[in-house]
Amino acid sequence: MSEDTTPSRSNFITDIIDEHLENGRFDRVHTRFPPEPNGYLHIGHAKSICLNFGVAEDYGGQTNLRFDDTNPTTEEVEYVESIQEDIRWLGFDWEDRLFFASDYFGQLYNYALQLIQKGKAYVCDLSPDELRTYRGTLTEPGKNSPYRDRSVEENLDLFRRMKAGEFPDGSRTLRAKIDMASPNLNLRDPVLYRILHAEHHRTGDEWCIYPMYDYAHALSDSIEGITHSICTLEFEDHRPLYDWFLDELGVFHSQQIEFARLNLTYTVMSKRRLLQLVREGHVSGWDDPRMPTLSGMRRRGYTPEAIRAFADIIGVSKANSIVDMELLEHVLRDDLNNRARRVMAVVEPLKVIIDNYPDEGEETFEVPYFPWDRENSPTREVPFSKEIFIERSDFMEDPPKKFFRLAPGREVRLMNAYYITCTSVAKDAHGEVTELHCTYDPESRGGMSPDGRKVRGTLHWVSARHALDAELRLYDTLFTQPNPYDVPEGGDFKDNINPDSLQVIREAKLEPSLAEASVGEPFQFMRQGYFTLDSVDTHPGAPVFNRTISLVDSWAKLEAERGK
Ligand code: ATP
Ligand code: MG
């Protein structure tokens, strides 16, 4: 039997890898996911995680988790921990390969000394503002720094003193000596090190110079023996610099490959903007269920399977595009449809009194959680009694022709229970319906027709005496515009925040089995949507459920509108 080595996903990246394996550039595949611990992971990161871990898995290779922690002022341990939790939740495992760029600070410093010795790096005394002016523009070449021709000895001395803390922040930098006239701005003597007297969450005050991203990233990849360093498109112009570092130092040469980042409609994906939403209180935190963060999506009820399936479906490409939120939701519904237990919950309760049912009487129905597979489905006991709640919207006193649910004199089926007929309506002083009186047909037990007579409506319900009181949170998109950055001049993306993105329902009535619900378990509240227990605000005896997503799939409609 021959082993099948064809990757399950094939795309331009696997094409490059195949070529490398064939021409002997590499004999293995080793990728990494390199988050900067300055925020929580979002669905865009999930695309990169699925890609890096997925591709390595397909080739029997390995993936490292490496924190790119070269920016001590914005990084926090909280982020380091949440990032690991989120990747594990997505279903990926870096085994014992958890690394930090800060682990390499010593080695990166030695590499810098080597570049200086080769005459390929120099200490520059230009201020940040001067650096910018000397850099030139896309149309004008830059100017050489007056410090560019310092001797190797002077550079070594100054760089060591930078490290020793002799100079204030911003007073000097270490720069690569490449080409101030290069059409690629990244090659115009980029800064390798800056002075920053800041506490680092791992190295404390050991360092007061910190390496810049491009330098640290290329060399961290090399140190770890990463074969394929997959990153987003905006780093394409940085690749010549990435290659320059590795070539000048003559170290292991990883291949950088760029792909288009994920953008989603109705969503901002920049950590800076997400942090702004958190700090300014537009959301309750990074894990607010409206956030595109993995922790928010998890709390909302997204499953890792749905997110991985979504990443597979969107694939990878070289062209930036914006994916419709409806596609993500479609994939989510697909997944929840298969795994969510069907239960009954009344969102806006209206009491129904069944006059011919015994006052103290009660009975239970054994109801399968997966009604389409009664044979194999687990079941639960659903209690029934004289007083029940139905959905207020399932009753109309004066119904139009097409309304098939409950109305005076009308008979409907209570799902899995009985046929009932509405006999009278009670109202308050404002004419508001307060409760309904009905009779039931004892011969219709289980919701079966006793004599072949048909009813057109089937309602969900909850026994009043047994109901579990719960708070429900219904969500809409966080922004009103498909592109949140689409604002009139002088505006801000926050102008597009949707004021109605959260609707709280405080008096929902749930079937009692939901008292056993656990965090992460998906449910379909029949006819109402998919829900899951909120992991943060639920307290003993006071459950809060998040609506993950409604039942209406707008993706099909969108596709139809596009004439597909
Ligand atoms: P942000 O723009 O949100 O700050 P970032 O790129 O600075 O994101 P990092 O922590 O550096 O955040 O990202 C880690 C990895 O995730 C990088 O390799 C990056 O390319 C990738 N990544 C980030 N955002 C996306 C996205 N929207 N789609 C695909 N990959 C992404
Ligand atoms: Mg980044």
In a domain, 487, yes or no: yes
CA of 494 from ligand 1 middle (Å) equals: 21
Dihedral, 74, 78, 83, 89 alpha carbons, nearest 10: -160
Both 151 and 22 in one domain: the answer is yes
Task: Give residue 559's pLDDT band: very low, low, confident or very high (50, 70, 90).
Answer: confident
* Residue 63, phi then psi, degrees to nearest 5: -130, 130
**Which whole number is the average pLDDT over 338-353?**
97
CA of 459 from ligand 2 middle (Å) equals: 51
Structure tokens at 72: 């001590």
Q: What is the mean pLDDT of the chain?
A: 96
* Tally of domains within the chain: 3
| Predicted pLDDT at 547 | 98
Q: How far apart are CA 423 and CA 135, in angstroms?
A: 84
Q: Is 47 in the pocket of ligand 1 (CB under 6 A)?
A: yes
Q: Is 292 in the pocket of ligand 1 (CB under 6 A)?
A: no
CA distances 505 to 347, 459, 471, 474, 512, Å, are 7, 20, 6, 8, 18
Both 205 and 327 in one domain: the answer is no
pLDDT value at 203 more than 50? yes
| Predicted pLDDT at 35 | 97
* Residue 197, phi then psi, degrees to nearest 5: -80, 80
Please provide the DSSP assignment of 331-349 as one string: HHHHHHHHHPEEE-EESSE
Both 335 and 384 in one domain: the answer is no
Q: Is 80 in the pocket of ligand 1 (CB under 6 A)?
A: no
483-508 pLDDT per residue, tens: 999 999 999 999 999 999 999 999 99
Helices (H) and strands (E) in the chain, counts: 13, 25
Structural domain of 179: 12-259
Q: Does the active-site annotation cover 271?
A: yes
> CB within 8 A of 552, min separation 6: which ones?
none
In a domain, 368, yes or no: yes
Both 158 and 288 in one domain: the answer is no
3-state secondary structure of 196: coil
**Pocket mutation for ligand 1, best pick of 38, 41, 48 (most atoms within 8 Å of C-beta):** 48
| Predicted pLDDT at 558 | 74
65-106 pLDDT per residue, tens: 999 999 999 888 999 999 999 999 999 999 999 999 999 999
Q: How many CA atoms lie within 13 A of 525 on its CB side?
A: 29
Both 335 and 386 in one domain: the answer is no
Name which residue sits closest to atom 18 of ligand 1, judged by CA: 231
CATH of the domain at 402: 2.40.240.10
Both 361 and 447 in one domain: the answer is yes
Place of tokens 């059409």: 183
In a domain, 264, yes or no: no
208 closest CA partner among 153, 157, 263, 169: 169
Q: How far apart are CA 529 and CA 229, in angstroms?
A: 41
CA of 256 from ligand 2 middle (Å) equals: 14
CA 510 to the chain's CA centroid: 29
Task: Give residue 564's pLDDT band: very low, low, confident or very high (50, 70, 90).
Answer: low
| Predicted pLDDT at 2 | 39
3-state secondary structure of 214: helix
**Which whole number is the average pLDDT over 216-236?**
98
Q: How far apart are CA 404 and CA 433, in angstroms?
A: 19
CA of 265 from ligand 1 middle (Å) equals: 17
Task: Give residue 4's pLDDT band: very low, low, confident or very high (50, 70, 90).
Answer: very low
285-295 pLDDT per residue, tens: 999 999 999 99
Question: What share of the chain has pLDDT > 90, as a percent?
Answer: 95
- Is the CB of residue 501 less than 8 Å from the CB of residue 489? no
131-188 pLDDT per residue, tens: 999 999 999 999 999 999 999 999 999 999 999 999 999 999 999 999 999 999 999 9
Both 337 and 352 in one domain: the answer is no
In a domain, 111, yes or no: yes
Question: What share of the chain has pLDDT > 70, as a percent?
Answer: 98
**Which whole number is the average pLDDT over 431-439?**
97
Q: Is 271 in the pocket of ligand 1 (CB under 6 A)?
A: yes
Using the 8-state DSSP alphabet, how is residue 416 labeled? Answer: T
pLDDT value at 5 more than 70? no
Taking the CA of 262 as reference, the closest ligand is 1
CA of 112 from ligand 1 middle (Å) equals: 27
In sequence order, what E strands does 167-297 have? Answer: 173-176, 191-195, 209-211, 228-232, 255-259
In sequence order, what E strands does 260-310 have? Answer: none
Q: Is 35 in the pocket of ligand 1 (CB under 6 A)?
A: yes
Place of tokens 């320059």: 244
Alpha helix stretches (DSSP H) within 24-142: 43-58, 77-90, 105-117, 128-135
Both 39 and 157 in one domain: the answer is yes
pLDDT value at 435 more than 50? yes
**Pocket mutation for ligand 1, best pick of 41, 75, 261, 328 (most atoms within 8 Å of C-beta):** 261
| Predicted pLDDT at 400 | 95
Both 83 and 184 in one domain: the answer is yes
Q: Is 296 in the pocket of ligand 1 (CB under 6 A)?
A: no
pLDDT value at 3 more than 80? no
